[in-house]
Chain A
Amino acid sequence: MRHGWQRFLLVSATLGALFIAACGDDDDPTATPAATDSPTEVATEAPTEAPTAEATEAPTEEPTAAPTEEPVAATEFPLTVRDLLGREVTLDAAPENIITTSPSAIELLAAAGGTAIARSETAVHPEGVADLPSIGPTYQPAFEAMITMAPDLVIADVSAQAHLAEAFEGALRGVPIMFVGAVGYDDVATSIRLIGQAIDQNAEAATAAGAMESALAEVQAATADLTPPRVLIMNGAIDDFFVALPDSFVGDLVAKIGGDNVAEGQPPVGRFPGYTQLSLETILVTADPEVILTITAGPPGTPSLADLVLDDAGFSELSAVTEGRVHDIDLEVFLQAPGPRAADGLRELARLLYGIE
């Protein structure tokens, strides 16, 4: 774990810069050095002008919905890019044996038009993924298993595995490791384009990334003139819950469509980045949420947190409860596997917050 703590610093600073970019805050001068490493400006040595030879695997699918206007170029190898941790990743050729180590990573890869040879234990989306061999849990990937699969690209998770970057590099010498994922909504498109470039599927990736962006534009246009409701986003247990801040993934989605997050401005507390712990008293006294969104984690059959909130005496006076606007939202889409399904997630949120279909 050489320089592990420097890595921590870089990661924190990079993600800090990400958050700042995502929230549209003024530039913090202390974050400036890291901002140059931030994934928002993905360094690339790919051709800036259209090459003569088109990629052989160029768009075979029929163009869907809105055609994107982005220039679609084939990737020239060797390729050096910066991943979402700000690390330089070099690929000598288009990878064929790609291992993904998180649910998010495999969904992003699929959206970019690629296929993996292995998944993490809990990754079951999109269809067919569940049949792939597993490399163990995302938080403790089995490096031995990965080595024997002879990968030529490993796609790891920027949110869940940043602290394992040194371990990945030490265990998988000579294998390019690319950290992607989504701390905020915009990172989904960034990650898809980055993967598309790495696997030389630029056209399909551009379409998928464009779809993310047009979904956002469409929802924002539809909700722009509507009055945003006060929203409380919670997960965990009814008597020990965490509240999503605007810089969590789900918090970013809600903020993107104008939702007024009642936890905004609260310091992060607890072990989950982007989440805090607010007492019920604080919620009752300082903010009366009009909509409560809950994320329920647990084995199948776990009662939804929304139902528990509706039944709980402590919450009974809140507007959201008296008006029946307490909704359970998808665990994978909004928390565990932030990725391409977030476009539908945005539409779902627009429905729950504004009542528009």
Chain B
Amino acid sequence: MIREAAGSRFDANGVLAASLLLLAASMTVAVSLGAVNLGPTRVLDGLFDRGDSVARQIVWQLRVPRVLVAAFVGANLSVAGLLLQGVTRNPLAGPHILGLSAGAGFASITVVVVAPGTPIELVAPAAFVGAIAAALVVYGLAWRGGISPVRFALSGVATAALFTAMSTAVLANSDLFTQRVLSFLAGGLFARDWDDAYQIMPYTAALGAVAFVVAGALNVLALGDDVARGLGMQVERMRLLLVVLAAGLTGSAVAVSGMLAFVGLVVPHGARILVGSDHRRAAPVAAALGASLLVLADTLSRVVIAPAEIPVGIVTAVVGAPVFLLLIRTRT
């Protein structure tokens, strides 16, 4: 259970400023590094279009859009994780563990396999619907005249397994040229470009803004259902809204990056450690930290074995798993 004190030893505004600074620094590093070592001068020439067409193409067509996609995906998953951990009052909750990613992945894969002519613009909405469907299944399974956080988490684990199995089944019977759908299962950012950035951007902006506005409700929910009702909150309705919001954030992320584990699980913990359990403060910090984490992880994935790449999902798991274990060991 989330038990940190409302306050924190850090100044919340300072933490937010520092996270944004970290994000800016991460993105700078990410645009500077890649399979080819351009050096700072050429990167700047490319960035400001100073007559170096090779550098301009590498920076503007390859690195910048991919860094943006990584940032949006990281922010979406982290905020979704924060919402889900708050709703379930369970520190183990996250878009991956609760089956939202699996639902989004299943919807994406099904759309691509069953109707290969579907415009890419419709994959994100499909993933959104898939994540919401998964959320509703989880919600329905957990419902006993109310939602118990533990039952919610267990239903999520079962639902995630179900949707992942269904994805595998669809893939096993798929025909030609669906290699791209494999990336939905593995998670990756290879060859993501401006179209992918434009796809996820509106979801990050709109749903992120809503999440920021309603994050305060999580503070009330954290006091327990009875207290929240006593304070006039329609608890079940609010919980549903928050879950749907998390589903939207997760679905749009999965549509462009596939299923990336650990980001949505680990980052919310980091945000709450830094700013305390006030979700209005934790939400923007989680977004900035999540974006930074995925931007840095993706940079590693592009650079370590260049010109080949390590799938970014492996990097996030390698970084995320030990951090998560550390959290479990050090926090009661």
Q: Which residues in chain B, 5-35, are within 8 Å of chain A measured between CB atoms?
A: 34-35
Interface of B is mostly: loop
Contact of A147 among B57, B117, B175, B306 (CB under 8 A): B57
Measured CB to CB, the closest approach of chain B to A39, in angstroms, equals 16
Q: Kindly specify which of A1-9, A109-117, A322-330 makes contact with the partner chain.
A: A1-9
In the bound assembly, the distance between CA atoms of A6 and B123 in angstroms comes to 13
* Residues B308 and A9 in contact, CB atoms below 8 Å apart: no
Contact B190 A6 (CB under 8 A): no
Cβ < 8 Å to A, chain B residues 158-197: 171-180, 182, 190-191, 193-196
Which residues from A are CB-within-8-Å of B35? 136, 142-145
A6 contacts B176, CB within 8 Å? no
CA distance A137 to B182 in the complex (A): 17
Minimum CB–CB distance for A234 against chain B, Å: 18
Mark interface residues in B68-93 (1 if CB within 8 Å of A CB, else 0): 00000000000000000000000000
Interface size on A, residues (CB 8 A): 40
Give the chain B neighbours of A145 by CB distance below 8 A.
35-36, 306-307
Say yes or no: A5 contacts B177, CB within 8 Å.
Answer: no
- Judged by a CB distance under 8 angstroms, whether B54 is at the interface is yes
Interface stretch, picked from A165-173, A188-196, A288-296, is A165-173
The chain B residue with its CB closest to the CB of A2 is B195
Contact B308 A121 (CB under 8 A): yes
- CB interface residues, B 179-232, toward A, < 8 Å: 179-180, 182, 190-191, 193-196
- Which of the four size classes fits the interface of chain B? 35 or more
A270→B180 CA distance, assembly (Å)? 15
Q: Are B308 and A4 in contact (CB under 8 A)?
A: no
- Give the shortest distance, in Å, between B70 (CB) and chain A (any CB): 16
> Is A134 located at the chain interface by the 8 A CB criterion?
yes
The answer to whether A5 touches B119 (Cβ under 8 A) is: yes
> Which one, A9, A150, A173, contacts B116 given CB within 8 A?
A9
A228 interface residue (CB < 8 Å to B): no
Q: In the complex, are the beta carbons of B120 and A171 less than 8 A apart?
A: no
| B112 interface residue (CB < 8 Å to A) | yes
Nearest Cβ in chain B — how far from A264, in angstroms?
A: 17
Interface flags, B130-156, vs A, CB<8A=1, else 0:
000000000000000000000000000
Does A73 interact with chain B (Cβ within 8 Å)? no
Which B residues are within 8 Å of any A CB, using their own CB?
34-36, 54, 57-58, 61-63, 112, 115-120, 123, 171-180, 182, 190-191, 193-196, 306-309
